Structure 1
Amino acid sequence: GETDELKTPLLNVTDADSVIVTFDVAHKNIAGQSVASNDALAVLATSDCFSSFSVVYNKSGAQLATAGNQQSEFTAPGTGDWRTERIVIPATAFASGRLALSFRNTNDFGNNIFLDNINVSAVYKRDLEIVSIQQPGRFVCNTTIAPTIRVRNRGTDTVKAFVLIYNINGGASVQQTFNNLSIAKGAEATITLTALPALAPGNYSFRVYATNLVTAKGSNDSNLSNDTLQVSFAVAGNATAPQTETFATTVFPPNNWSVLNNDGAATWQYSNNGNGNAGSAFLNTFRYNSLGEKDDLVSPAYNFGNADSVKLRFDLAAALSSQTANIPVDTLEVLVTQDCGNSFISVYKKWGAELQTGNGPRANEFFPLGTTDWRKETIDLSSFVGQNPVIVFFRATNNNENNIFLDNIQVDTQVLPAKLKESGVLVYPAPFTTSFTVWHYQTPTTLQSIRVFNMAGQTVWLKQFTGNADRQEVVNLAPGASGMYLVEVTYNDGKKTVTQKILKQ
């Protein structure tokens, strides 16, 4: 017969039409006794600190049990042992605008009772919720944006009108009124605002809140806790390759670059530890406690023009702090998008020992002190030539290891000579002074040899290949005399031998 109570704080539910209480309960009756032992659970509601109360829920014995009965002590409810209960408390139970609940157990020497996920939510006659900001998204490529807001009628009265007030970066507010609406209880609607003024590339915040609510039976929102929403977003910049970013100034992100920071915690920032220049981009994973978070350093949208090949190069400095191989480690991934971040192609991904540039794990926080702490990475982006502009995401996934630095991010393009693309092989420069190059349009896997003769027919330079030739092979004739030479390029697949005269000045 003893009772034990678990009480909520006194809640403010002024103007609420009703209150909905949900909770999970797990209980098994005691089995195998000659006299039934029926423990009971009741929920009491009060608006005057329990001077008086109403019983809004009361179950015992088999009615309370969620998973049958057992003779032994019920100590560890499984997933299937729980049941969710729902109580609707009318406004008459909290006329004062205040409400407290007590979960009362009455002991009958039965078996244990477990409670979890207790949720108390007020239902108002007039309650408009801003559910989401659909536009702007976290990353946009258009400088003109028409914000799109999703709202829900959480009240019981039909919504007829309201006002949305919004601003960019906390600046001047813009107000728009929406009339002649009919948003029923529980329904949602998408609201499109007037397009924002053109935005320069960079990072922004967008804040919107609802006010002046009008319903079929009254006005003013009774619940202001869900009327405001804010998002951070970035507007992509544009650039024409080739381009190099050296992070030489403390302005970060640099012009036309942006940062996407999902959790609002640590993210990419400026560091004065550069590789041959004043600064670099830096993510402090050593002090970043939000495991698994992803932070993006985003390039401008590159136009490759009429380039035939494109290389992305960057300097990397990174370190581990863990000695154990079985724990998650920091990851750096390079992703390419051609549709403004709606889809990505991964072109580079390294983590752990493969990512680190120094020797072994470092217990102290890592900062690159010299060139030996850096490594240059090269990625071929030639497959993206001739398509939509390319945006590069440098995405770091944090696992609280050690720091990651990026510097000298280069996008290099190359336009090949028309003669090379036409004939497949080019000898240049002609004339030359000390050396020249035999340049193939495609990797010459069948190249057998490059031989150079003087005008007396003597071989003065020879290099033979077994499928290992580079597209560009340099021929050094610095010791040779000035005059005319004959270059002979031979293949082992039946192709004709290419011969060309070339003058050394």
Structure 2
Amino acid sequence: MRTDAPTNWTISEFREENVTNFALTFLGYEIDSLNIENWFVSPVLDFSNTEEASMTFDVSYASKIGRNDQLRILASTNCGKDYSLEVYNKKGSVLAVTQSETAWSPQTADDWRNDFVDLSDLAGHADVRVAFLLTNQNGNNLYLDNIELFVSADENQIVIEESMRAYPNPASDFIEVKFNFNIKEEILLRIVSLDGNVIAEETFPNTLNQTYRIENIKSTNNGMYVLQAIGDFTNLSNKILIQQ
């Protein structure tokens, strides 16, 4: 988080359909001060090896009559020295999933909306940071969850329950590999032939829930291969079929 601006972001507990959940939360209902900018900033993100990037997140917020809390997402390409690019801006009823004059807390899955943000203007940069900036208007509580980053600008991202999935399969021009880990780790991702030859490999640091694209398979012979993902806590493999 930035230390030079007021912040009221916290991780809060709430009950949804009788299940305890946690989410990044701005408790704006009780804050009387107006126009206070509250920052929540990501770690440094490396988009230097991709031509596209995007982000999705779940938001739950209820607007109050006459109050227009504003959520903006700003981006920096110089490790946070400045945030010159605005990639998201919603406030009041546009930001909200519903309206409530009482303190808001999500109760069901219908109280959430999934928003997509194209970050392709950040592709090619190695020192990216993304900031969620909430400007308080004494409106209501806002919840964010499932913030995910992708090295693709496809709005229809695949959601997986398993730890890794490769697609398309069969593949011809490229293979996208989506991860779903509980903790970050450096992953060595490689394609190996059935006789043990390494066809392609690349290392990806800080892998959590990203999607990576392997594009150098166009000259690969048709056939069955093994996709391996190796890390300190991970040793995964999937069979993939390459058909040109």
TM-score by length of structure 1 reads 0.29
Task: Calculate the aligned-residue CA RMSD, in Å.
Answer: 2.9
The amino acid that maps onto 1:330 is D
Match of 1:363 among 101, 105, 127: 101
Match of 1:354 among 94, 108, 122: 94
Mapped partners of 1:362, 1:328: distance in 2: 11
For 1:258-297, list aligned pairs within 5 A: 258-260=1-3, 262-263=5-6, 267-273=8-14, 278-297=21-40
For 1:72-221, list aligned pairs within 5 A: none
Match of 2:149 in 1: 411
Match of 2:75 among 321, 325, 336: 336
Alignment CA distance shift 1:285-1:305 (3 Å): same
Mapped partners of 1:300, 1:281: distance in 2: 15
Aligned residue pair count: 159
The amino acid that maps onto 2:38 is D
Kindly indicate whether the alpha-carbon contact (under 8 Å) linking 2:48 and 2:126 is maintained by their aligned counterparts in 1.
no
Mapped partners of 1:288, 1:397: distance in 2: 11
Kindly indicate whether the alpha-carbon contact (under 8 Å) linking 1:283 and 1:404 is maintained by their aligned counterparts in 2.
yes
TM-score by length of structure 2 reads 0.58
Percentage identity across paired residues of the two chains? 26
Kindly indicate whether the alpha-carbon contact (under 8 Å) linking 1:316 and 1:407 is maintained by their aligned counterparts in 2.
yes
Q: After superposition, what is the alpha-carbon deviation per residue over 1:109-143, rounded to whole angstroms, capped at 9, x for unaligned? A: xxxxxxxxxxxxxxxxxxxxxxxxxxxxxxxxxxx
Structure 1 gap ranges (5+): 1-257, 416-427, 432-436, 440-501
Mapped partners of 1:346, 1:385: distance in 2: 15
Structure 2 gap ranges (5+): 154-167, 175-241
Q: After superposition, what is the alpha-carbon deviation per residue over 1:340-381, rounded to whole angstroms, capped at 9, x for unaligned? A: 2324211000001110012xx212110011111111111111
For 1:380-399, list aligned pairs within 5 A: 380-399=118-137
Match of 1:300 in 2: 43
Mapped partners of 1:319, 1:396: distance in 2: 14
Q: Report the CA distance between 1:412 and its aligned residue.
A: 1.3
Alignment CA distance shift 1:357-1:284 (3 Å): same
Q: Report the CA distance between 1:429 and its aligned residue.
A: 4.2
SS in 2 for 1:303: coil
Which has the higher relative contact order, 1 or 2, with Cα contacts under 8 A spaced 6 or more apart?
2
Verify: 1:314 aligned to 2:57, yes or no: yes
Q: Report the CA distance between 1:281 and its aligned residue.
A: 0.8
Q: Report the CA distance between 1:306 and its aligned residue.
A: 1.5
The amino acid that maps onto 2:24 is A
